[in-house]
Amino acid sequence: MTPAPEEGEDPASGLRFRHRRARDSANGGILVVVFSQVRVADGRFGLERLFANTRHACLFLNCPDPVWYLGCEAAIDREIARAIEAARPGRITYYGASKGAHGALATALRREDGAAFAFGPELVLGRPGSQSARVFAPAMATAPDLAGMLAACRKVAATLVFGVFDPVDAGGAVALSGRPLPETVRVLRLASPHASHDHLYTLNIARKLIAGFDRDLAALCSERGLIAADTDADLARFAGFAEARARGLIAPDTLAAARHDPYRARNPGYGLEIARALADIGAPAEAAGELARAQAAIDASPAARSLPKRWLKGFWRERIAALRAAGETHAADLAEQEARRRFPADAQWMAAD
């Protein structure tokens, strides 16, 4: 019988932890250190349900979102040492998405004693439009650039996953493509939003990966047609436009160039950013048109049905709002009817997640 999990909190850093012993007493298995993503409530840990049926020893970690695992290094090392002593693992894997991806990757690169799987990591914290910028804390300004650490790394097998429908992820993918990385570092670009891990969970790819961490993630994604072929130049234009919008620096000629960029028709995330820029300048009818084109691009995607619902619903919410702002009440009503048809189980689907 597996002992009850041990848990607690480090008062100095705010790090919360929960130890779960391996499902059997045999040593030499895998210790997985799982870092929680953003907006995980106190007393809970991200991805805990995903790992519930695995046999691995697990150490689940979380911290307040503004902390972003910065300043938690001593507490993390202490809990890892306890987990290693209890499990005597044959190998260690660091795992996380979004905020958790940064924690997993930074810890693996610092300790150099295990592999890392990071889904949507921010290589530089606090960039405009990023998840970390929404909860920005002064410590983020001095956080290391993980791209530089990856380039200098020679001991860590790290797999980084970026969803190219997200501008921050797209920028991260481009930043790494311009650096000579060691063979131990793999970078996957997926036709997915920032919530790429949710996407892979829906497709059952995440479960296949974590069962023994002996499957090729790139091959699993390729089988489902998820590997993106977007060029660095395309992704850089997308990321640059979105960051400029987040800074409030979109000039009329920049917006016009983006609206004529053929890449926007292939990347719904780019269309979403253009629509938001149009809404910002009081052009809701044009914004609704861009969102309709972005929706068409999503519907044409082979993996459209498995994309995260909270991301998909955002297009409909913003499109309906733009139509109503433009006075196109009938078109807005029709769009709302279609959205309710697509999301029949979500009674409050118009509410932001």
**Per-residue tens of pLDDT for the chain, all 353 residues:** 455 569 999 999 999 999 999 976 555 699 999 999 999 988 899 999 999 999 999 999 999 999 999 999 999 999 999 999 999 999 999 999 999 999 999 999 999 999 999 999 999 999 999 999 999 999 999 999 999 999 998 899 999 999 999 999 999 999 999 889 999 999 999 999 999 999 999 999 999 999 999 999 999 999 999 999 999 999 999 999 999 999 998 999 999 999 999 999 999 999 999 999 999 999 999 999 999 999 998 988 877 889 999 999 999 999 999 999 999 999 999 999 999 999 887 656 665 54
Domain positions in the chain are: 6-223, 250-342
pLDDT given for residue 25 in this prediction: 57
Per-residue CA distances from 60 to 21, 56, 161, 267, 268 (Å): 11, 12, 21, 35, 34
Query: Which CATH number is correct for 250-342, 3.90.550, 1.25.40, 1.20.120, 1.10.3470?
Result: 1.25.40
- Helix (H) or strand (E) run with residue 17 in it: strand 16-20
Q: Are 89 and 29 in contact (CB under 8 A)?
A: yes
Q: Are 179 and 150 in contact (CB under 8 A)?
A: yes
> Residues of 109-125 as b/e, b for ≥16 C-beta within 10 angstroms?
bebeebbbbbbbbbbbb
> Residues of 35-56 as b/e, b for ≥16 C-beta within 10 angstroms?
bbbeebeeeebbbbeebeebeb
This prediction's pTM: 0.94
| Start-to-end C-alpha separation, the chain | 38
pLDDT given for residue 1 in this prediction: 46
Q: Which CATH architecture has domain 6-223?
A: 3-Layer(aba) Sandwich (3.40)
Q: What is the radius of gyration, based on Cα positions, of the chain?
A: 21
Long-range contacts of the stretch 141-148 (C-beta < 8 A, 24+): 143/68, 143/70, 144/106, 146/102, 146/105, 146/106, 146/109, 146/121, 147/123, 147/172, 147/175, 147/176, 147/179, 148/179
Helix (H), strand (E), coil (C) string for 46-111: CCCCCCCCCCCEEEEEECCCCCCCCCCHHHHHHHHHHHHHHHCCCEEEEEEECHHHHHHHHHHHHH
- 3-state secondary structure at position 172: helix
